Each structure stands twice: as structure tokens, then as C-alpha cells.
Amino acid sequence: MDSRNTSTGGPYYHTPVMTKKVLDALSLRGGSVFVDGTFGGGGHSSAILDLFDCIIIATDRDVNSVPIAKKLNEKYQDRINFYNASYTQIPSLLDSLSIKKVDGLLLDLGVSSMQIDDPKRGFSFQNEGPLDMRMGKNAISAFDVVNKMKEEHLSEIIRDFGEEKHSRIIASRINDYRQKNTINTTTQLSDIINDAVGNFYKKQKGAHIHPATRTFQAIRVFVNNEFEELYALLMGICDYIKLGGRIAIITFHSLEDRIVKNIFDHLTGYSSSKSRYEPKIEDQTNPPFIYPDKKFYKPDGDEITQNPRSRSAKLRYIQRTEHLFRENLDIYSMTKYKRILKELK
Ligand SMILES: C[S@@+](CC[C@H](N)C(=O)[O-])C[C@H]1O[C@@H](n2cnc3c(N)ncnc32)[C@H](O)[C@@H]1O
């Protein structure tokens, strides 16, 4: 089925994933205040408002969500308070609205269909477009990363944020190419990557992915500072979640899911593994959250058939306890990437 069929309509469309499970995970009731940090096409928010008499505070960095939120707000009689902002702003938005606690938070990470299918946004190697990949008003674009970043840093980014084994070869080929020509488009970049490592990918056993998949992921994550934003929100939002309130997060690739899992494990006192992506909870016996349920969910076969883009989705959720939230920020240092980012400006 075409994803447009179940969309919120208009020129913008996006099929929300695992909607029923998301609603169960959030355990919403009427009268609650709920936060949708990644509003996108408003699919999850609409599903919530259809079923519950609640208010939604929503954010999205993408300006294209503004008209969708406006339209839905008319439909749902002003029950959506939408802000065209990063979700890291949610704690201060709640302060400005004098909302002390909310019943739940949903993050549906990654890019929307509206973003990936619009060649002008430059997210996809399957459509020719400018190297952009900015979800909002970011300081740098994919063009800056690909054309201006030092080769060694490019290799690091592709390795760390794309988990690409061949990052050095790819960075070296990009560097060779850009000595002679500027790399302007998604297809130019995809062809360079394919020439560099296409053969390695062909020889790989198991499921095949396009050779440019991991590099495009890495550049997008870096351009949008995705992991640091996620961490910053999760550290800032805990004390705004009511006792019994839930945080539900949908991820779309293994690295993103690992970060969420590590942060959730620590918030629930579930494990003491030493990942660099995790905060440290000092009192593991009184964690600020619990896992109410089995640890993660995936879309079923029918959903994947109807919406193939849902296939890599994973949903995890946690529930607030009465215990205080205390964490050690030093554990999660992005200083290294700040330095690299600075060089680009
Ligand atoms: C997968 S889509 C969400 C789709 C939405 N749940 C729906 O049903 O239509 C992800 C959205 O998150 C937004 N986004 C990603 N990072 C963000 C951030 N740090 N702050 C705010 N929005 C963000 C993107 O712009 C995109 O619109």
C-alpha cells in the first residue's frame, strides 16, 4: 500500500508506525497532557487525539510541520500546541506554559516520508538532489561535511555514526574526488561510495544494503546532531514526567536503538554496562524509571507489508517511578565532535 493512503493528507504525508502499540505503551487517559517531540506529519498525535480527550504539546524542527499542525489544530479544536523547534526545547517550553508535569513523551526518531521523498532535502541517495540533509535550521549541511571536513574526521564520522567498516576508503575516495570537483549532489556522492566499496558490499553474505546507506546515515546524524539532541532531551525531561508517566521511543537503526537502550537501562537501573553513550545513575536500587513490560517491540508482518519503511522500527518504553533523577553528565561527552564541528564553521 502506498504510504500516502493512511497519511494526514495534503502535500505532506507520513504513515505513523506501530500506532496501536505506541498508544498502549503510553498508557494514556483522558485529561492528560502529552508531548510529541517529533510531530512530523502528525500521524501519532492524530491517533492519540482521536482516542483520548487530552492536550498535546508538540515540536518538530521541520518548518513543513507547521501547516500540518495548524490544520490538525483546527480539526482537534486547539488541543495541539505545536512549536517549530528542536525537542531539546521541550523542558523550557513546558516551563513557559507553566506545565510542571506531563503524562508521557513520544519520540519517533529519524526522518519522515515527507523529508526522505523530497529530493530537494537531499536525504536520499535514490533521488538526485542537493547535499543538504538539514531537518531544521542547522548550522551546517551535508555539503559542508562532504566538501570541507578533513579526510580523517570524515572517516571518523562515517565510522562512528554509520558503523561503516570501510569508512577510511570512502573518506579517501571522497577526498580524491573533491580535489578536482565539488561534490554537489546526492547521486554524485552515492556514485563515489559505490565505486569505492560497491564490490565489498556485493561480496557480503546475508541481507544486502546499498553501499551508500551507512555513509548517508552517518552524515545525516552528524548534520542534525541527532545523538546529542536525544541525550540532552532525555536528561532534561525526566523530572517533567508524572509518577506512572511513560517515555516511548521508536528508533530506526541499530546504533540509535543501542543508545536508547543504554540510556533506558541506566534510567531503570537495569544494567551497569559502560557505554560512552550512557548516563550514570548513582543509586541503582532506587531508579527513576522502570521497564513496565517486555523490552522492545517491532512491527508485525502485516504492517511491514503495508508500510515497508516500518521494517527497521523498534519501540522501547519506560515508566516514571517516585524516585529522584540524578545523573552524571560527564559520562556522555561529545566534546570530540564539537571540536570537529567547530572547524566547519
Ligand atoms: C519519523 S518522523 C515522525 C513522524 C510522526 N510521528 C508522524 O506520525 O507523522 C521524525 C520527525 O522528527 C523530527 N525531528 C528529528 N529530530 C528532531 C529534533 N531534535 N527536534 C525536533 N524534531 C526532530 C524530524 O524533522 C521528523 O519530522
Would the CATH topology of 3-108+226-329 be identical to that of 121-223? no
The string of DSSP codes covering 117-141 is: T-GGG---TTS--BS---SSS-S--
Percent of the chain with pLDDT over 70: 87
89-127 burial, b at 16+ Cβ within 10 Å, e below that, comes to: bbbebbeeeeeeebbbbbbbbbbbbbbbbbbebbbbbeb
d(CA 9, ligand 1 centre) in Å: 17
What size, in residues, is the chain?
345
Q: Looking at per-residue confidence, does 172 or 333 come out higher?
A: 172
Locate the ligand 1 atom nearest the alpha carbon of residue 46 and give its number. 8
**Does CATH place domain 3-108+226-329 in 3.30.390.50?**
no
Would the CB of 62 count as within 6 Å of ligand 1?
yes
Q: pLDDT, tens digit, for every residue of 26-38?
A: 998 777 999 999 9
CA torsion 300-7-2-60 (nearest 10°) is: -80
DSSP H helical ranges for 181-324: 186-203, 213-223, 226-237, 254-267, 301-306
**What residue owns the CA closest to ligand 1's atom 18?**
86
CATH C-level class of 121-223: mainly alpha
How far, in Å, CA of 217 to CA of 219, rounded?
Answer: 6
Would the CB of 121 count as within 6 Å of ligand 1?
no
What are the sequence ranges of the domains in the chain? 3-108+226-329, 121-223
> Cβ–Cβ contacts within 10 Å for residue 140, how many?
18
- Structure-block grid coordinates of residue 104: 508521557
Q: Given a cut of 50, is residue 68 above it in pLDDT? A: yes
d(CA 168, ligand 1 centre) in Å: 31
Would the CB of 252 count as within 6 Å of ligand 1?
no
Mutational pocket test of ligand 1: of 112, 230, 231, the residue with most ligand atoms within 8 Å of the beta carbon: 112
d(CA 169, ligand 1 centre) in Å: 32
Contacts of 296 (CB under 8 A, 6+ apart): 257, 261, 314, 315, 316
Q: Given a cut of 50, is residue 4 above it in pLDDT? A: no
In the chain, the N- to C-terminal Cα span, in Å, equals: 43
pLDDT at 282: 53
Q: Are residues 114 and 41 in contact, defined by beta-carbon separation less than 8 angstroms? A: yes
Reported pTM: 0.90
Would the CB of 103 count as within 6 Å of ligand 1?
no
Q: pLDDT, tens digit, for every residue of 87-114?
A: 999 999 999 999 999 999 999 999 999 9
When the pLDDT of each residue in the chain is averaged and rounded to a whole number, the result is 89
pLDDT band at 39 (very low <50, low <70, confident <90, very high): very high
d(CA 17, ligand 1 centre) in Å: 12
Would the CB of 110 count as within 6 Å of ligand 1?
yes
